[in-house]
Amino acid sequence: MADLGEYLGHLLCEVARARVRADMEAVRIAHEYVNDDSQLLRHFAVPRMRLPTLEISLPVQIDRVPEGYAEKTSADTTLLSKVIVQALGPVLKEHKLHITTSEVTRIIKADPRLSGGELYEGFSNMLSAQLHDHTRAAARSRLAGQESTKETAGETFKKVAAAIRESVNTAIQALPRKPVGIAVEARTAAIREIGNPSLLVNLKLSISEEALEIHLEEPPAIEGKPDPAKPTASPKIKRLLPE
């Protein structure tokens, strides 16, 4: 299963790589023509394959359409739990509390969307509330042995909740993420098993070939005869046109 955007992106990359391989082959053939012992091939035009227009028809099955905007992280559940525990460590230590990676993992796995790596809207508030509820009992036990009023306990709980929410948001921002797109099934074997064409969506693509011109920034000239022992500086790409 792949996202539609990734599927089309990979397809365009493959077409671009095909053109690159064709250009490299044209250059190789040109060298062979020039170095031909009979010196006859150098008078022939070098063959060059192009893809001015490419039309592709792709049958796909739409498996999932996300509800609103959502993101997905490539980090697994254990890694996500470790990142959160590391962020919460200093906060909980200040209030003499503790939470383990396995406990955070259990909370994350209880949410089917979050356990699959989906970072949906409001998930950080949900996770913060779950973590706060988990540590609330421990905080009450610690405060019960002290001469603390209910008001003092309440203020402590508010501080812990705010600190947990801030730490979770900080930890989540550091995770690798990407938008959740439309999930499609495009494998030939899976498409054949569906059988009913009415369940498929046919994507018709017309890909036009374009080219970029490379403008080079030549290395500065060196006065006098260059030292053959020193490597010559390579030109740098100044611009790619059209921009």
Is residue 215 within 8 A of residue 238, CB to CB? The reply is yes
Beta strand 118-119 pairing with 213-217: unpaired
Tokens 């406990």 belong to residue: 103
How many Cβ atoms are within 10 Å of 110's Cβ, its own excluded?
10
Token pair for 8: 């089309």
Q: Three-class SS of residue 35? A: coil
Is residue 131 within 8 A of residue 100, CB to CB? The reply is no
Beta strand 71-73 pairing with 118-119: antiparallel
Residue 146: per-residue pLDDT: 55
Q: At a CB cut-off of 8 Å and minimum separation 6, what does 227 contact?
A: none
Which amino acid is present at 189? A
Residue 139: per-residue pLDDT: 62
Q: What one-character-per-residue DSSP string does 161-211 give?
A: HHHHHHHHHHHHHTS-EEE---EEE--HHHHHHH--GGG-EEEEEEEEP--
Hey, where are the domains in the chain? 2-65+184-212, 71-179
Q: How far is CA 183 from CA 65, 123, 138, 186, 242, in A?
A: 7, 21, 42, 10, 33
The whole-angstrom separation of Cα 142 and Cα 92 is 13
Is residue 52 within 8 A of residue 209, CB to CB? The reply is yes
Residue 142: per-residue pLDDT: 59
Is residue 107 within 8 A of residue 80, CB to CB? The reply is no
Residue 127 exposed, middle or buried by CB count within 10 Å (0-12, 13-18, 19+): buried
Q: How many CA atoms lie within 13 A of 218 on its CB side?
A: 3
pLDDT by residue for the chain (243 residues), tens only, comes to 789 999 999 999 999 999 999 999 999 999 999 999 999 999 999 999 888 899 999 999 999 888 878 888 887 888 888 888 888 888 777 777 778 888 888 888 888 888 888 888 888 888 888 888 877 766 666 555 555 555 566 676 777 788 888 888 888 887 888 888 899 999 999 888 888 888 899 999 999 988 888 888 877 666 665 565 555 667 888 888 886
